[in-house]
Chain A
Amino acid sequence: MLYAENILFTAVMLIYFAAMIFFFVFVAVKKDLIAKIGVLLLCAGLLLHTAALVCRGIGAGRLPMTNQYEFAASFAWGLCLVSLVFILKFKFPMLGVFAAPVIFLVIGYAAMQSREVRALMPALQSRWLGFHVATAIISYGAFGVSFVISLIFLLRERMKDQGFFDLHTPKREKLDLISYRSVCLGLLFLTFTIVTGAIWAQRAWGSYWSWDPKETWSLVTWLVYAVYLHLRIRRGWRGKSAAIFAVAGFVCVIFTYIGVNTLLPGIHSYA
């Protein structure tokens, strides 16, 4: 099973790379068919990626979400899933142009991690592990999509006369709305992540909140996006300001994910 996972993982990397190239070619030659192929490749990549994760799960005899490699691979999966949902729901293939490189970067980061399967340490042997990590994957994926859409929004601001770009991206108001919706999805799932993590921590360590760096930075990320939502209401932050804030918010997400693990070790140092 782990051999199959290795082959599938390599195939998935190649497919995401191909999807990224197709999306770049789409921008260069401006043909919709190329973008459709890019979307199809992302779909195929997601299917194989799902199969790879299933193989990993069967091979390891547990949920494949317990170390840096598994979480990065799952993060890329969540990013691809949420991107495809938004591409298909809002008929927005241009999203793929920006999402595919991010997905490829995350899966590339996963490829650099150790793929060794180790037995679960006692603290990780909990039924809450699945809920906690799965909700984190969706949350990070949604924030990633919001980041990508905000980048598109800012780029569109700078390229006002780009007919092709205008034609293939939703109106500014709609882009802003999609980014907002993505942040809402991310914040909701981040709340699930924090609450399920707290319940788990209560059972494992007898304390549902210990100010561990990972917990603290999840809270910081939550607060940053809560400020984003309140600024939209209070000061009518829409468009460019909101897009810049969403990009900055994703920096917090990345720090919570990678920065904390490398710079601020704590009880989540296995994550």
Chain B
Amino acid sequence: MLKKFWKFVSSMKFAITLLVLLALACAAGSFLTQHQSYEWYASRYSERTAAVIYALGLDDVYHSLWFLILTAALCCNLLFCNLLRIRPLIRKTKEFSDPQTLRSSPAAHAEITQRPQAVFEALHFPKPKEIEQNTEKALFSKRNGIGIWGAWICHFGILLLILGFALGQTTGVEYAVYGVAGQTKPIADTGYLLTIDDFRIGLNEDDTVSQYTASLTVSDGKNGEAQSAQVSVNDPASLFGYQFYQNSTGWAADVSIRKSGALLQQETLCAGESLAVRDLPSLALCFNAFYPDFVMIEGKGPSTASGKLLNPAYLYSLYYGDELIGMNALLSGEVITVDDYEIRFSNPQNYTVIQIKRDRFTPLALLGGLITMIGLILAFYLPPKRLLAIPDPSGYSLIGQSLKGGLLFSEQLSAAVKEVSGQSDP
């Protein structure tokens, strides 16, 4: 029973089934919008469909239990298949080097009266060795023996790739810190502090963005040790063992709240953030969006005509408790007044989102990818070939074999014999 199970798990039939299921799962995950709430699916489709989506984990296909089981099963299949194939492949490699086995294998045949070495040369074989063959001296050569291991190496690479990815997903950490130049924020619970020294957006002549660049300083909260670097898109930096990426950007603005004319509080808010009034926490301001060149488009609502700060406007919502008491787009210089409180927006500026990651297994996944590529090259483009020239009364009998593309090799052998024999193609 166990032997049967072992055989099935390592079988190619099982591998094909898994590959088909994984392809279907991946396709399903790409069509169905992922990471949405039950209510979202219910409103988009129906209650019943939403229930099915949630029951099957289709709202997050690539992290669902069944998808992980399929991937784990593929890893087991690759592992067991490769383990079981080691001995047969070693045997095959030995047999490949043994000219005696050529006679019993499906092979290409040809006859030549003289100069068999020239055929070896025409087919790019290394210089043939003389071997004893039934008391006569035959010639034998082989090439691309490593190609026998191509598929094995490819499977090994895929296994490493999946392993590296899985370990990275489970042990890696990822944080995001956002802020404007001059701000210092903690990096989650790592004990490190991130200071955004500077953030610049480079523009092309046509006003499109050429690059986002942030200057960062990371300091150790315990001993004060600090490291600085500059990051831009496609050019991350490594500080204290973490990778820092320039991820995205958005608009921020200074918000000042005055009570009876006196400054009560002043903070920098990024679009999407909220702020509660210090001495009246039930009054809260939400900075919804920012329009640098504000225009109101009929039927579309507020928008921006360009990325330049020509007519800045701040879209806000004001809450008292749970109640929405106001929502509007505030132009520069305008004030929101609620009883004794005056709220103003000023100094619009870009904030940066810095992504911070540590994944020690990325090199393993990369190595897996490289090994997979090498395996495929060996499997597809280094077909193991061998050729034996045995003397016979009319000259030499040639027996050749290619473990892949035998038909083409047979044609190549015939063409090489014709070329060497000086015959012309019909």
Q: Which residues of A contact B (CB under 8 A)?
A: 118-119, 121-123, 125-126, 173-174, 177, 181, 184-185, 187-188, 191-192, 194-195, 198-200, 202-209, 211, 213, 216-217, 219-220, 223-224, 226-227, 230-231, 233-234, 260, 264
B365 touches A (CB below 8 Å): yes
Q: Which residues in A have their C-beta under 8 angstroms from that of B366?
A: 195, 198-199, 208
B408 touches A213 (CB 8 A): no
Q: Which residues in A have their C-beta under 8 angstroms from that of B205?
A: 119
B211 touches A125 (CB 8 A): yes
Of all chain B residues, the one with the shortest Cβ separation from A178 is: B408
Q: Which residues in A have their C-beta under 8 angstroms from that of B232?
A: 122
A121 touches B19 (CB 8 A): no
Expressed in whole angstroms, the minimum distance between the Cβ of A118 and any Cβ of chain B is 7
A191 touches B209 (CB 8 A): no
Expressed in whole angstroms, the minimum distance between the Cβ of B159 and any Cβ of chain A is 14
Provide the bound-state CA to CA distance between A187 and B209, in Å: 36
Given contacts A204-B233, A205-B245, A230-B12, contact A121 B372 (CB under 8 A): no
Expressed in whole angstroms, the minimum distance between the Cβ of B373 and any Cβ of chain A is 5
A192 touches B210 (CB 8 A): no
Given contacts A119-B204, A227-B20, contact A188 B380 (CB under 8 A): yes
B165 touches A (CB below 8 Å): yes
A230 touches B19 (CB 8 A): yes
B30 touches A216 (CB 8 A): yes
Expressed in whole angstroms, the minimum distance between the Cβ of B112 and any Cβ of chain A is 24
A188 touches B376 (CB 8 A): yes
Q: Which of B23, B165, B204, B208 has the most CB of A within 10 A?
A: B23
B210 touches A119 (CB 8 A): yes
B376 touches A119 (CB 8 A): no
B355 touches A (CB below 8 Å): yes
Q: Which of A195, A224, A260, A264 has the most CB of B within 10 A?
A: A195
Expressed in whole angstroms, the minimum distance between the Cβ of B4 and any Cβ of chain A is 18
13 contacts between A and B (CB under 8 A): A119-B208, A122-B211, A122-B233, A123-B234, A200-B234, A204-B234, A211-B62, A216-B26, A216-B27, A216-B30, A217-B26, A234-B16, A264-B30
A125 touches B407 (CB 8 A): no
Q: Which residues in A have their C-beta under 8 angstroms from that of B236?
A: 203, 206
Of all chain B residues, the one with the shortest Cβ separation from A125 is: B234
Provide the bound-state CA to CA distance between A187 and B19, in Å: 15
Q: Which residues in B have their C-beta under 8 angstroms from that of A198?
A: 365-366, 369
Q: Which residues in B have their C-beta under 8 angstroms from that of A200?
A: 234
A203 touches B208 (CB 8 A): no
Provide the bound-state CA to CA distance between A224 and B234, in Å: 31
B326 touches A (CB below 8 Å): no
Q: Which of A174, A184, A216, A224 has the most CB of B within 10 A?
A: A216
Quick one: which of A173, A230, A260 contacts B407, CB cutoff 8 A? A173
B13 touches A (CB below 8 Å): yes
Provide the bound-state CA to CA distance between A191 and B27, in Å: 18
Quick one: which of B34, B234, B376 contacts A187, CB cutoff 8 A? B376
B233 touches A125 (CB 8 A): yes
B26 touches A220 (CB 8 A): yes
CB-contacts of B176-192 with A (<8 A): none
Task: Give 8 A-B pairs besides A174-B408, A206-B247, A217-B26 with Cβ atoms closer than 8 angstroms.
Answer: A119-B210, A125-B211, A177-B405, A191-B372, A195-B373, A198-B365, A219-B26, A223-B22
Provide the bound-state CA to CA distance between A104 and B407, in Å: 32
Q: Which residues in B have their C-beta under 8 angstroms from that of A209?
A: 165
CB-contacts of B4-35 with A (<8 A): 12-13, 15-16, 19-20, 22-23, 26-27, 29-31, 34
Q: Which residues in A have their C-beta under 8 angstroms from that of B26?
A: 216-217, 219-220, 223
A230 touches B16 (CB 8 A): yes
Q: Which residues in A have their C-beta under 8 angstroms from that of B357?
A: 206-207
Q: Which residues in A have their C-beta under 8 angstroms from that of B206?
A: 118-119
B373 touches A191 (CB 8 A): yes
B16 touches A231 (CB 8 A): yes
B22 touches A122 (CB 8 A): no
B295 touches A (CB below 8 Å): no
Provide the bound-state CA to CA distance between A188 and B206, in Å: 39
Closest CB pairs A-B (n = 10): A122-B233, A223-B23, A206-B245, A195-B369, A184-B380, A119-B204, A234-B12, A216-B30, A126-B234, A213-B30
Provide the bound-state CA to CA distance between A205 and B232, in Å: 11
B362 touches A (CB below 8 Å): yes
Q: Mark B392-423, 1 if CB is under 8 A from A, else 0.
A: 00000000000001011000000000000000
Provide the bound-state CA to CA distance between A198 and B161, in Å: 12
Provide the bound-state CA to CA distance between A74 and B31, in Å: 28
Provide the bound-state CA to CA distance between A207 and B357, in Å: 9
Given contacts A119-B208, A122-B211, A209-B165, contact A203 B235 (CB under 8 A): yes
CB-contacts of B208-222 with A (<8 A): 208-212
B370 touches A (CB below 8 Å): yes
Expressed in whole angstroms, the minimum distance between the Cβ of A103 and any Cβ of chain B is 25
Provide the bound-state CA to CA distance between A99 and B62, in Å: 37
Q: Which residues in B have their C-beta under 8 angstroms from that of A123?
A: 233-234
B234 touches A122 (CB 8 A): yes
B243 touches A (CB below 8 Å): yes
Q: Which residues in B have their C-beta under 8 angstroms from that of A205?
A: 245, 247, 355
Q: Which residues in A have their C-beta under 8 angstroms from that of B381?
A: 188
Quick one: which of A118, A195, A230 contacts B208, CB cutoff 8 A? A118
A122 touches B209 (CB 8 A): yes
B377 touches A (CB below 8 Å): yes
